[in-house]
Amino acid sequence: GGGGGGGGGGSGGGGERSPEDFKDDVAALQRAVSEAARPNPKPNPNPNPNAEAALGFVLDRVTALLPPLDYGDAHKLVYRAERAALEQHIALLAVRHQALYALGVRLAARGDREGAVRELRRALAAADDYELVDAAYRERRGLCELRGTDFGPNAHGTGRFPHDEERGKTLVQLIQASLELGDAAEVCELFGALIQVVTNFDGGNDVIEGMRATHRKRFQAYMSDDGSGGVDAAALRAAYEALGDCEASLDAGRRHYKRQRVSDAIAAFKRAVLRARLDGRDELEARALFNCAWVLRHVGRHQEARVFLRPCCRLWHILERRESRELGPKRTERRKNYNQVLYDTAKNLMQCQRWAAAKSCCAHVRGLARTKQAVELCRKLEAPQP
């Protein structure tokens, strides 16, 4: 996610508010969301007609409380933004996501699937914004640790918000609504997004591979559905076939890039990523992700490149660790690829103004210090930050 515009207007109340007042406000909003999100008792489909209005009020209040902040400028976000503003955005964006998610689920439950899709998409955008601001804040803490100064606690903090898990939950709801709307191409895209999200989860490689396989099999089951599940399997198969062959898309992407047709190249590589992902061809998916990130980095779209580098890194790690007797020299090649992606991730983090994160990424690279480019990069990372 490229992060939308910054927050809305002023402080939503006269005078300076203390961190304690702010935390009380956020706690009240969280309670309102929990209240409105409570499922309806079965016989009565809508016993709480005020729930949607309550969630609308929460969303308006969040917008009023958000201090101005420009998400588009990574340098400003890490080095210039007021710390209090970052902390407030982190707390409020979590509430915004939860309120939009609850609203989407409510709309789906009463049959307004278009409305549900709209609000759930907004919930995903809020999670993207959250991740961006949270990363800038963690970078600030990391820089303090590097300099040996005390960063102190988050005065406005209201607890951890697991944005990847929340994204996963939202995508599951979006898939359901899109299946019911019969939007086959959208369902393919959403399953790809869900598999990407679980690839980014914390956890051992076996757990991640298991989750990826579960979602892939669910997609394949929908494609072979006999109609009893109410899914238009034929439309889904047609949308899947329309993605074309994975290797052909990779070749097309390279050709487009040679001719400087950047957006065509990115579209072809994304198609290759999606097809490989739905087919369970991990190595091809990793290569396609790498190509997406490579093109985006070359045209200076570093924040977008991160979105592809993160799952790419995890996949090469999985591939490199996958013990298999017939691998032999292939394992060495996979290790080389994993190191290359780690190296690119460290460079990309620097380009996103995240020096502390780049440093810790460099520490992970086995065998990297033996290459000239790596020695150069590590030396750069030892230099004083801007």
Per 3-state DSSP, the chain is made up of helix, strand and coil in percentages (nearest 5) of 75, 0, 25
Q: For residue 340, give both structure tokens.
A: 């290359």
pLDDT at 228: 61
Element (H, E) at 201: none
Among the listed residues 349, 347, 292, the one whose alpha carbon sits nearest the alpha carbon of residue 315: 292
The amino acid at 217: K
DSSP states of 255-307 as a string? Answer: HHHHTT-HHHHHHHHHHHHHHHHHHT-HHHHHHHHHHHHHHHHHTT-HHHHHH
This prediction has a pTM of 0.89
pLDDT at 72: 83
pLDDT at 157: 93
The amino acid at 65: L
Decide: helix, strand or coil at residue 299. Answer: coil
Among the listed residues 132, 125, 133, 225, the one whose alpha carbon sits nearest the alpha carbon of residue 171: 125
- Average pLDDT of span 92-111: 96
pLDDT at 47: 55
Which range, of 108-122, 156-170, 350-364, averages the lowest pLDDT?
350-364
d(CA 21, CA 26): 9
Residues 6+ apart with CB under 8 A from 128: 1, 2, 3, 4
pLDDT at 201: 95
% of the chain exceeding 90 in pLDDT: 69
d(CA 353, CA 139): 9
d(CA 128, CA 97): 10
Check if the beta carbon of residue 325 is closer than 8 Å to that of residue 293. Answer: no
d(CA 305, CA 28): 37
The per-residue pLDDT for range 211-249, each reduced to its tens digit, is 999 999 999 999 987 666 678 899 999 999 999 999 999
